[in-house]
Amino acid sequence: MLAKINNIQIDLSKPFDISIPLTNNEQNPIAWYQNAPEIEPVKMGDWIGKVSEGKSSTNFNNIFFNPHAHGTHTECLGHITRDFYSINQCLKQFFFTAELISVEPKSVGEDLVITKEQVESALKDNSPEAIIIRTLPNPESKKHLNYSNTNPPYLEEAAAIFIREKDIQHLLIDLPSVDKEHDEGKLLAHKAFWNVKDVNQVNKEARFNCTITEIIYVNQEIQDGSYLLNLQFASFENDASPSKPVLYKIEK
């Protein structure tokens, strides 16, 4: 089914879902030293909220998870500021032009780093509203990794500044963070992208409407290039929320 959004024609019957579903086992991606998410039926006395147990007419589960640690999530600048800002208040539009690029992080000492030069080269002259970074190599095992204490690749500060200066509003990446796992709390890429100079008193130039989405997975069948991004998330009043970014190929 063809549709036109902001004068861009897409086929709604051909979505590319680049989110990772939340599960309650060790196959779920994990970061930041957390255990696996918990999804289990409510128990009240001898009553169990599970149809297969024979005591309930409905399945009635509690879910315990951390959006930053347990899968695809979208965050606003409230992730790093003293004052509270909610993703549900910062993001009010959900369709964006997007460019998907693939980058193999460079070895820098003991780290693997996505550099400004790599992003600039892959982006060419495109100026999308959103950028999606797929790191190489790209095995499906990424969807099940425990990233804790593994020093995953990250985005260098200069690359985040470049993305900001290109006026790209939404950054999506298949890593647990745009910053180094152990960085003494510097969060250089987060701060550079959101243009936050002081987390204790946010400057007026900070980019309140911009978001970072982490722990996506873009399979090999999806080619680099231009897309329309539908960025949806659960309506939590929180700095971050589990999200479901979906790409649509732009029809020529």
* 51, part of any domain: no
Asked, for residue 44, whether it belongs to a domain, the answer is no
Tell me the pLDDT of the chain averaged across its residues: 96
Quote the tokens at residue 22.
Answer: 């939340």
Q: Structural domain of residue 190, as residue ranges? A: 2-23+71-250
pLDDT in tens, 186-239: 999 999 999 999 999 999 999 999 999 999 999 999 999 999 999 999 999 999
Task: Look up residue 30 and give its DSSP letter.
Answer: B
Does residue 66 lie within any of the structural domains? no
DSSP codes, 209-252: T-EEEES----TTSPSEEEEEEEEE---SSSEEEEEEEEEEEP-
What is the predicted pLDDT for the residue at 94?
Answer: 97
- CB neighbour class for 200 (10 Å; exposed up to 12, middle 13-18, buried from 19): exposed
89: CB partners within 8 A, 6+ apart: 237
Domain-embedded: residue 188: yes
| C-alpha–C-alpha distance, residues 28 and 142, integer Å | 10
- pLDDT value at residue 26: 85
Domain total in the chain = 1
List alpha helices for the chain, DSSP H: 87-90, 116-123, 157-165, 188-194
In-domain check, residue 49: no
Q: Is residue 226 part of a domain?
A: yes
Query: Please, what sign has the CA dihedral across residues 205, 206, 209, 211?
Result: positive
Residue 35 included in any domain: no
Residue written as tokens 């980019």? 207
pLDDT in tens, 23-74: 999 899 999 999 999 999 999 999 999 999 988 999 999 999 999 999 999 9
Q: Is the overall model pTM greater than 0.95, yes or no?
A: yes
Distances (CA, A) of 143 to 103, 139, 174: 18, 9, 9
DSSP string, 82-93: SS---HHHH---
Report the CATH number that the domain containing residue 192 is assigned in CATH.
Answer: 3.50.30.50
CA–CA distance, 164 with 194 (Å, rounded to integer): 8
User: What number is the average pLDDT over the span 181-186?
Assistant: 97
**Is the residue at 130 inside a domain?**
yes
